[in-house]
């Protein structure tokens, strides 16, 4: 059963409260009170980047889960973030746009994954093993290419590049662009919510119900890839946000795409902001890469969901 309107509103209020708490704590900790100059110069851009990137990653994970009909789909797990990282590194090396490189890299990885698993998605009753293995190998391939690119990176930029590849919000930029892109993605998912809900029943069922299956699948693929690319270009490869947030919402009863879209955006923003707060304060004054903090949360959940699916 789905959530009632009152429960849905209460859940939304709770997510917004968590986001506000994370933002407020992030502004207060590590500074001498609420210094306006410090907030404007350092804290606000970082929190804004965490909000925008977290929302995009959660929406990308949601779109991939619908596209592949797999609860384990996530841009980090299935190689989309790795493709974006490779594209971004190549763009840095040739002096091209970082955003363009990451977007094209994520889209190429998504198209390759869809092509490699097309027969499994069309014919297998349970395509999870093939999807997960294919995505894992694609992620490993992208990781190997990124490592080779790092090997030719100048020493003065090597530490920053490594920190960026595992996820780092300390120098993140483009928070407003990521937030605006997340709003556009939420609007697109909400506009096509009926077709996407039917697509979750299977492409054949959706086609019989009159839905433009091919167009919907390309919409989800391009949207998920561009969202992951923008997130990686802004803050590096941060994993498992797209797995944790939609899974948590579904477990508590949120099923409709219209509700999942905007609540995933809020939940992803809150989760990544909170993870960044932990990364900055747990061993202060040193900072941990926020990608590592998210992996400590997401990897056990991935294993638990995979084990549950096996039963």
Kindly write down the DSSP assignment for every residue of 85-131, as one continuous string: HHHHHHHHHHT--HHHHHHHHHHHHHHHHHHHTHHHHHH-S--HHHH
Highest mean pLDDT among 174-178, 194-198, 307-311: 194-198
User: Is residue 77 exposed (0-12), middle (13-18) or buried (19+ Cβ within 10 Å)?
Assistant: buried
**Pure H helices in the chain:** 5-28, 36-38, 44-68, 80-94, 98-116, 118-123, 128-151, 155-165, 175-191, 193-199, 203-208, 213-235, 241-251, 257-281, 290-310
Rounded Cα–Cα distance for residues 123 and 218 (Å) = 19
Rounded Cα–Cα distance for residues 17 and 22 (Å) = 9
Q: Residue 19 — pLDDT band, cuts 50, 70, 90?
A: low
What was the pLDDT predicted at 25?
Answer: 55
CA nearest to 91, candidates 76, 109, 103: 103
Residues near 43 by beta carbon (within 8 Å), at least 6 away in sequence: 26, 27, 31
- Between 172 and 271, where is the model more confident? 271
Average pLDDT, the chain: 78
pTM reported for the whole predicted model? 0.82
Sign of the Cα pseudo-torsion (181, 186, 187, 193, in order): positive
What is the CATH number that goes with domain 37-310?
1.10.3470.10
Per residue in 90-130, pLDDT tens? 887 777 777 788 888 888 888 888 788 776 555 544 455 67
Rounded Cα–Cα distance for residues 236 and 289 (Å) = 10
- Between 141 and 40, where is the model more confident? 141
Q: Residue 183 — pLDDT band, cuts 50, 70, 90?
A: very high
What is the CB-side half-sphere exposure of residue 177 using CA atoms within 13 A?
Answer: 13
């Amino acid at each position: 059963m789905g959530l009632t309107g009152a429960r849905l509103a209460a859940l939304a209020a709770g997510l917004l409260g968590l986001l506000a708490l994370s933002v407020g704590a992030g502004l207060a900790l590590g500074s001498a009170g609420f210094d306006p100059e410090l907030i404007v110069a350092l804290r606000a851009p970082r929190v804004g980047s965490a909000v925008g990137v977290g929302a995009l990653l959660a929406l990308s994970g949601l779109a991939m889960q619908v596209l592949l009909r797999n609860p384990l789909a996530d841009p980090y797990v299935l190689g989309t973030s790795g493709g974006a990282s490779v594209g971004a590194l190549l763009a840095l090396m040739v002096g091209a746009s970082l955003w363009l490189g990451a977007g094209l890299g994520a889209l190429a990885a998504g198209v390759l994954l869809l092509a490699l698993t097309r027969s499994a998605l069309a014919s297998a009753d349970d395509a999870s093993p093939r999807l997960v293995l294919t995505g894992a190998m694609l992620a490993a391939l992208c990781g190997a290419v990124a490592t080779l690119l790092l090997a030719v990176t100048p020493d003065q930029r090597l530490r920053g590049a490594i920190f960026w590849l595992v996820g780092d919000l300390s120098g993140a930029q483009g928070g407003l662009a990521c937030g605006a892109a997340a709003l556009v993605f939420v609007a697109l998912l909400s506009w096509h919510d009926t077709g996407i809900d039917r697509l979750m029943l299977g492409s054949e069922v959706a086609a019989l119900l009159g839905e433009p299956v091919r167009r919907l699948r390309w919409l989800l693929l391009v949207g998920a890839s561009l969202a992951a690319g923008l997130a990686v270009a802004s803050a590096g490869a941060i994993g498992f946000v797209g797995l944790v947030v939609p899974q948590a919402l579904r477990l508590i009863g949120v099923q409709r795409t219209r509700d999942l879209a905007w609540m995933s955006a809020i939940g992803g923003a809150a989760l990544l902001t909170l993870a960044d707060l932990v990364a900055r304060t747990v061993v202060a004054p040193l900072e941990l890469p926020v990608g590592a903090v998210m992996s400590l949360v997401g990897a056990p959940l991935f294993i638990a969901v995979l084990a549950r699916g096996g039963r």
